[in-house]
Amino acid sequence: MRAKAINGHKSPLVSHAGIQESTSALGALGRLQPGLARVDRDELSEAVAPVIAQLGEPLVATERLVVAEAVFAFCRSLHRVGRSLEALPLARAVLAQSIVTGDRALELRASGYSGLLAADTADLVAAFAHFARTATLAQEAGDVPQLAYTWGNIGLAFAVGFNYDLAIRAYRRGVRFAEGVPDLLHARVTGLCNLANGHYQVGQFEEGLRCGEEAMRAGPEVLESIGGNFAFLLRRNLVRLLVALDRTAQARPIVDELAARAAVADTPRAHIAAATARATYEVATGQSDIALTRLDEALAMARGVPGALRDTLATIVRVEEAAGNPERALLRLQELSDLAYRHAVERAREHLAFASLFDSPAAGPELVRERTRARLQAGLGRPAAPENWASLQRLSVTATMRLDDTGMHGARVGALVKSLALASGRPPLDALEMGLAAELHDIGMASLPEAVFEGRGLLGEAGRALAERHTDAGAEILRGESHPRLLLAHDIAAYHHARWDGAGHPPRVDRDRIPFAARACAVADAYDAMVCGLEGESRRSMQVALAEIRRGAGTRFDPALASAFETMIREESEDLGLDTASPAGLEAFQSLVESLQQDKGFL
């Protein structure tokens, strides 16, 4: 993706000095620009709020242009550093301003911005609605350049939803609009880069390489002028295609160039593109251990960059398979499938503007994933525990005894996670592995100094802030383990304090970018702490604790998992004749957990 793919036409941008002179609100945005990747969410919200308020009132044409250009520039910067979700309110405020003032030209641009930012956050329903409006306005105005950019962005939205067949069709349409138009060379080159990636994803490597090499022939000056992350993505695509075609030696200089460029650019998307390209090359040259470590780091970074996670997971599936790790590849493929399921790309059929894309049947993304799944499962053996499993369990129990005298917090949470995974439709063996992995979720507590704890609770707010870091320590303890159960345990340890709204730890990792098992553990961990009175919590009845889980749905917890958890607890309690409202419900809760821990035919 690139900046001009959002804008369409090249428009004269207002200088930072001009922006600061325009209004103090726009000046605040300009001051944030240099360190935007590191600005915390509260500071960013505070700076953005006055601009959104200003756009809430009709502005005269000259002021409207100044504010819109400043906002679009700021949105491009937020997109570049992986913060599209925080850019969306700004773009939509400009869109609302354009509609109120009847400014059709501005509406066309603002709708395009809003669509691409929504697609980057995986809100495909909103993205397609914006793109439908953009396409309609451009068609009415006979605006060929905007049509070229719009169809390229529609392709990107389809790619976000893993429907690469439809993405390729949209990219081709955008390239055709740009064909032979000198002013649309950027649109054509960008479309060719995206086509290279689409063809790679569906296994059409020769065609993908042809598109990538044609884009490269535009020359360094054109490629650099496109800006944004384009140069990184094009070269990453070429590396993957060359490796897939067994032309690995040709990929080496591109890999080295990518690494050097990423070091200079120093943006998350640049580092992720460089890391995934190098890992692809390393596996092809027999350096699997280095590659997998590199991909672990790239994946952790990608969880905070909405548009990068899906492609990073897809790369990891291929690399793990090539490295001979079908079990680990399947875990990442499942996460990829979870993302695709929520995105509901088929909702695009509701928009008549895209109807012609569906004239002939398309190979759906689910078919491609199922073929990959079947191929990976063919190489699986019977699951067995990791060799060091007993040692890790003992370390985890020791760590949690500082909060729980019984040392059974991990085992209880594991039983709850297993049952929640089953209630959410996970296959029994997968649910069992998640439950076992969740037993280690607090293993990082072993790294905390004893002074953090007071009795069996955490010592004040400072202690809580320090204890939050036990997730980093737990992830480090489990990093690099090859067994798939320990890969699950690593994800759970690292992300079970991430929040659905992105306000947890690590920051800005939210919604589906939190691994499913970690989202499930977040619910189970909080529930156990409330019922058992851990981490400074006052002990609550099972029913009151369920009400707290319900209140946290959509902010702290995945709302679907919070609902499934409540249903599971109520049904299991009813089957056992337990009173969830009893104020002395710890004994009832222990009976519930013991029932959930029983072998119910998993093997």
pLDDT the model gives residue 409: 94
Residue 53's Cβ-count burial label (10 Å; 0-12, 13-18, 19+) is exposed
Longest dimension (CA), the chain: 77
Q: Angle at CA 285, nearest 5°, toward 326 and 254?
A: 115
Helix axes 104-120, 61-80, angle to 10 degrees: 20
CB-based contact 110:98 (threshold 8 Å): yes
Residue 27: both structure tokens together: 């000046």
Which residues are CB-contacts of 455 (< 8 A; sequence separation ≥ 6)? none
pLDDT the model gives residue 193: 95
pLDDT the model gives residue 467: 66
457 has which bridge partners? 454
**What's the topology of domain 163-377?**
1.25.40
Residue 360: CA atoms inside 13 Å, Cβ hemisphere, count?
A: 4
Residue 357: both structure tokens together: 């894309």
Task: Please give the average pLDDT of every successive group of 10 residues along the chain, which has 603 residues.
Answer: 38 39 69 81 88 91 92 90 88 95 94 91 83 90 90 88 86 92 90 95 94 93 80 94 96 95 88 94 92 91 84 88 87 81 47 48 55 64 80 91 87 96 91 95 83 58 68 89 90 95 89 94 96 82 95 96 96 91 81 84 49
Report the distance separating Cα 117 and Cα 92, nearest Å.
Answer: 10
* Residue extent(s) of CATH 1.10.3210.10 domains in the chain: 391-597
Considering only CA atoms, give the Rg of the chain: 25
Amino acid present at 570: R
pLDDT the model gives residue 383: 66
What Cα–Cα distance (Å) separates residue 457 from each residue in 90, 169, 394, 405, 538?
42, 58, 21, 11, 10
CB-based contact 303:509 (threshold 8 Å): yes
> What is the CA 340 to chain-centroid distance, rounded?
11
Q: Angle at CA 211, nearest 5°, toward 210 and 213?
A: 65
> What's the whole-model pTM score?
0.76
* Helix (H) or strand (E) run with residue 408 in it: none
Q: Which CATH class is domain 391-597?
A: mainly alpha
pLDDT the model gives residue 67: 93
SS3 for 22-87 is HCHHHHHHHHHHHHHHHCCHHHHHHHHHHHHHHHCCCCCHHHHHHHHHHHHHHHHHHHHCCCHHHH
Count how many residues are written for the chain.
603
**Residue ranges in 323-388 assigned as alpha helix (H):** 326-343, 365-377
* Residue extent(s) of CATH 1.25.40.10 domains in the chain: 163-377
pLDDT the model gives residue 10: 36
Fill in the DSSP letter of residue 458: E
Residue 148: both structure tokens together: 């070229």
pLDDT the model gives residue 17: 42
pLDDT the model gives residue 370: 64
> What is the CA 395 to chain-centroid distance, rounded?
31
pLDDT the model gives residue 588: 86
Which residues are CB-contacts of 177 (< 8 A; sequence separation ≥ 6)? 144, 145, 147, 148, 151, 184, 187
**Residue ranges in 424-554 assigned as alpha helix (H):** 428-438, 460-468, 470-478, 484-495, 516-532, 542-552
